[in-house]
Structure 1
Amino acid sequence: MAGGLVALLDDVAVLARAAAASIDDIGAAAGRASIKAAGVVVDDTAVTPQYVHGLNADRELPIIRKIALGSLRNKLLVILPAILLLSQFLPFLLTPILMIGGAYLCYEGAEKIWHKISGHAEAHASVEDALPDEKTIVSGAVRTDFILSAEIMVISLNEVASEAFVSRAIILIVVALGITVLVYGVVGLIVKMDDIGLSLAQRSGKGVAAFGRGLVKGMPKLLTALTVVGTAAMLWVGGHIILLGTDELGFHPIYEFVHHLEEAAHDATGALGGVVGWLVNTLGSAILGLVVGALIVVVMNLTVHRKK
C-alpha cells in the first residue's frame, strides 16, 4: 500500500514537472512571438491616442476602455479563431487577407494626409470639436485596431507555427491579452499625462511643480507628434504587408528592388549598416503604402465619396 502511494506521488510529481515545463515553453514562445510583433505594437500605441485628441478629459479613459475591449474582442473572438482555422486548413489564404488589411491601412494613412493638404480636416474641425460622436470614434479606432491586431496575431502565429494546435491557441491567447493590456495601458497613461502634470504643478515643491508644468505644456506637442507618427505608421505597416505579400504570392520586382536598396545601404554604411538598412526598408514600405493609399483615395473620391 505504501509502495503504491509512493509510486502515485512519483507519477504526480512527474506530471507536475511536465506541466511546469509546458507552461514555461508556452511563456517563452509567447515572449518570442510578442517580440517579433513589437514593431506593430509600437504603431498601435502611436495610432490610438489620436482618437481621443481634443475630447473632454473625463471622456478619454472611458473611450480608451471601450477601444481596448473592442481590440480584445477583435483578437479573441474574430482574428484568433479565423487564423487558427485558416492556418490549419487554408494557409494560402492568410497572405491575401492580410494584404487587404494592409491596403486599408494605406488608405487610412493617405486619407489623413489628403484631408490635411486639401483643408477638409479644418473645414470639419469645429463641428467635430463641438459634438464629438463617441460611437463613431470608438468604431473607427476598433476598425483600425482590427488591421493592426491581425498583423500582430499573424506575426505571432508565424513564430509558433511548428507548435501543436492547442499550444498555438494558448500562446496566441497569452499574446493577445498581454499586448492589449500593454498597448492600452500605455495609451491611457499618455492621454492622462497632462492631468498628472496639472496635479504635480499644484504641489508645493518647486522642482515637482516645474516638472508638472513641463508635462502640461509638452502634452499637446506630444499628441500632435503621435498623430504624425500614427499616420506614418499606417503607411509603413500597410506598405510592408503589401511588399511582403506580393513577394510571397510570386510577384517579386517590388520586393527585390527594396531589398537591393536595403542591402546597398547596409554595405555602404559600415557599423551603422543594420540601422540604415532598416530605415531604407521602412522608407520603401512607407512610399509603397502612400502610393497604394493614394490610388485608393482617388478611387473612393471618384466613386463612393462623390455619390455622398
Structure 2
Amino acid sequence: MSSGLFALLDDIAGLAKVAAAALDDAATQATKAGAKAAGIVIDDAAVTPRYAVGFAAERELPIIWKIALGSLKNKLLFLLPAALVLSFIAPWAITPLLMAGGAYLCFEGFEKVYELVVPHAHTDEPAGTGTTAILDATQLEQQKISGAIKTDFILSAEIMAITLATVTTSSYWMQALVLAVVGLGMTMLVYGAVALIVKADDAGAALARKGRPFIAPIGRGLVLGMPHFLKALSAVGTAAMLWVGGGIIIHGLAGYGLTGIEHAIHGVAVAVGQVLPTLSSLLEWLTTAGASAVFGLIVGGLCLVGMHFIVEPLLKAWRRTKAPGVPERQGH
C-alpha cells in the first residue's frame, strides 16, 4: 500500500516537473515573441490614448477598460482560434500573411511620415462636426470605443501572427498556450500603460494643487510634459511600425531565398559594430533597425502609390459598373 502511494506521489511529482518545464518553455517563447512584437505594442500604446480624449475625467478609465476587454476578445476569441486553424491546415500561409501585415505597418508608418512632411486635412470623419453634435455622450463614447477596438484588431492580428511565426515548430498545444500568454500579457501591458498615460495629467494636476515644496513642481512637470511625451511616443511608434514592418518583409523574403537585402544589412551592421567594440551589440541592433525602417519607408511609399493609383481607381470603376444596374432592377 505504502509503495503504491509513493509511486503515485512520484508520478505526480514527475507530471508537475513536466508541467513546470512546459510552462517555463511557454514563458520563454512568449517573451521572445513579445520582443519581436514590441514595435506594434509601442504603436498600440501611442494610438489608443486619443480615444479617451475629450471625455470627463471619470469616464477615461472605464473607456480604456472597455477597449481593453474588446482587445482581449479580439485576441483570445477570434485571432487565437484562427491562428491555430491556420497553423493546422495551411502553415505555408503564415509567412505571406505576416508579410502582408508587415506591408500594412509600412503603409501606416509612411502615411504618418508623409503627414508630418506634407500636412493635409484629415478626412477620418467625413460628416464633420455636425455628426458629433447630434450624438449624446453615451453614443459618442460607444462610437469611440468601437473605433478603438477595430483599430486594435488589426494590430492584434499582427501581434498574434508574429507570435505564431515564432512557435511554428512547437506542438499544437504549446502554440495555443504561447498565443494565449502573449495575447493576455500584451493586452495588460498596453492598456495598463495607456491608463497611466491618460491619467498622468490628472495626477499631475492633483499634485500641483497640494502646493508642497517638492510635490507641486513634479505635478506641474507632469501636466506640462505629457503633451510632449505623447508626441515623442507617437514618433517612436511610427519608427517602430516601419522598423517592424520592414524587418518582417526582409525576413520573409530571405525565407523565400531572396537573402540579398538581409545579408547586406547584416554586413553593414557588423561593420558599424566594429567601430566601437564595447557597444557592438547596441550599434548592430540600431543599424539593423534603422535599415529595416528605411526599407519599410520605401515599401510603405510603394503601397501608398499602389493604393491611390491602382486600387482606388479599380474600386471606383467597379462601383461605376454596378451603379447603372440598380435602377433597372428596381424598375422591374
TM range (shorter): 0.7 to 0.9
Q: Which amino acid aligns with 1:142?
A: F
Q: Which residue in 1 is equivalent to 2:154? A: 143
Cα RMSD between the aligned structures? 2.8
Distance in 2 of aligned mates of 1:175 and 1:148:
8
- For structure 1, the 5+ residue unaligned runs are none
With over 3 angstroms needed to count, the CA separation of the structure-2 counterparts of 1:152 and 1:198, relative to structure 1, is farther
Distance in 1 of aligned mates of 2:183 and 2:174:
14
- The alpha-carbon deviation at position 122 of structure 1 amounts to 6.2
Higher Rg? 2
- The alpha-carbon deviation at position 207 of structure 1 amounts to 1.2
- The alpha-carbon deviation at position 152 of structure 1 amounts to 3.7
**Which residue, out of 39, 45, 49, partners 1:48?**
45
Distance in 1 of aligned mates of 2:36 and 2:121:
28
Distance in 1 of aligned mates of 2:59 and 2:46:
13
CA contact (8 A) 1:72 1:180 kept: yes
Q: Which residue in 2 is equivalent to 1:233? A: 240
- The alpha-carbon deviation at position 93 of structure 1 amounts to 1.8
**Which residue, out of 12, 18, 21, partners 2:17?**
21
Distance in 2 of aligned mates of 1:52 and 1:179:
16
Tell me the alpha carbon deviations over residues 141-192 of structure 1, each in whole angstroms, 9 at most, x when there is no partner: 332332234324433x25xx34x32233223322322232122212211221
Tell me the alpha carbon deviations over residues 233-276 of structure 1, each in whole angstroms, 9 at most, x when there is no partner: 11111111001000001112211211211122223331111111
With over 3 angstroms needed to count, the CA separation of the structure-2 counterparts of 1:254 and 1:190, relative to structure 1, is same
Tell me the alpha carbon deviations over residues 95-141 of structure 1, each in whole angstroms, 9 at most, x when there is no partner: 1110011111111111122233332256879958x947513343223
Q: Which residue in 2 is equivalent to 1:34? A: 30
- The alpha-carbon deviation at position 92 of structure 1 amounts to 2.2
**2:180 counterpart of 1:176:** no
1:247-286 superposed matches below 5 A: 247-286=254-293
**2:212 counterpart of 1:205:** yes
**2:106 counterpart of 1:91:** no
Distance in 2 of aligned mates of 1:304 and 1:165:
38
With over 3 angstroms needed to count, the CA separation of the structure-2 counterparts of 1:206 and 1:284, relative to structure 1, is same
1:128-139 superposed matches below 5 A: 131=132, 133-134=143-144, 135-139=146-150
Q: Which amino acid aligns with 2:179?
A: L
CA contact (8 A) 2:246 2:296 kept: yes
Distance in 2 of aligned mates of 1:223 and 1:284:
25
Q: Which amino acid aligns with 1:165?
A: Y
TM-score by length of 2: 0.79
- The alpha-carbon deviation at position 279 of structure 1 amounts to 0.8
- For structure 2, the 5+ residue unaligned runs are 133-139, 320-332
Q: Which residue in 1 is equivalent to 2:81? A: 81
TM-score by length of 1: 0.85
Q: Which residue in 2 is equivalent to 1:294? A: 301
Q: Which residue in 2 is equivalent to 1:103? A: 103
Tell me the alpha carbon deviations over residues 18-75 of structure 1, each in whole angstroms, 9 at most, x when there is no partner: 3322332233123212331224235413433333334334554344334323332332
Greater alpha carbon shift after TM alignment, 231-240 vs 33-42: 33-42
- Give the secondary-structure state (helix, strand or coil) at the position aligned to 1:202: helix
With over 3 angstroms needed to count, the CA separation of the structure-2 counterparts of 1:167 and 1:303, relative to structure 1, is closer
CA contact (8 A) 1:87 1:94 kept: yes
Greater alpha carbon shift after TM alignment, 76-85 vs 274-283: 76-85
CA contact (8 A) 2:105 2:241 kept: yes
CA contact (8 A) 1:75 1:153 kept: no
CA contact (8 A) 2:48 2:194 kept: no
- The alpha-carbon deviation at position 195 of structure 1 amounts to 1.4
Tell me the alpha carbon deviations over residues 206-241 of structure 1, each in whole angstroms, 9 at most, x when there is no partner: 212221111111111111111111111111111110
With over 3 angstroms needed to count, the CA separation of the structure-2 counterparts of 1:55 and 1:235, relative to structure 1, is farther
- The alpha-carbon deviation at position 12 of structure 1 amounts to 3.7
With over 3 angstroms needed to count, the CA separation of the structure-2 counterparts of 1:171 and 1:40, relative to structure 1, is closer
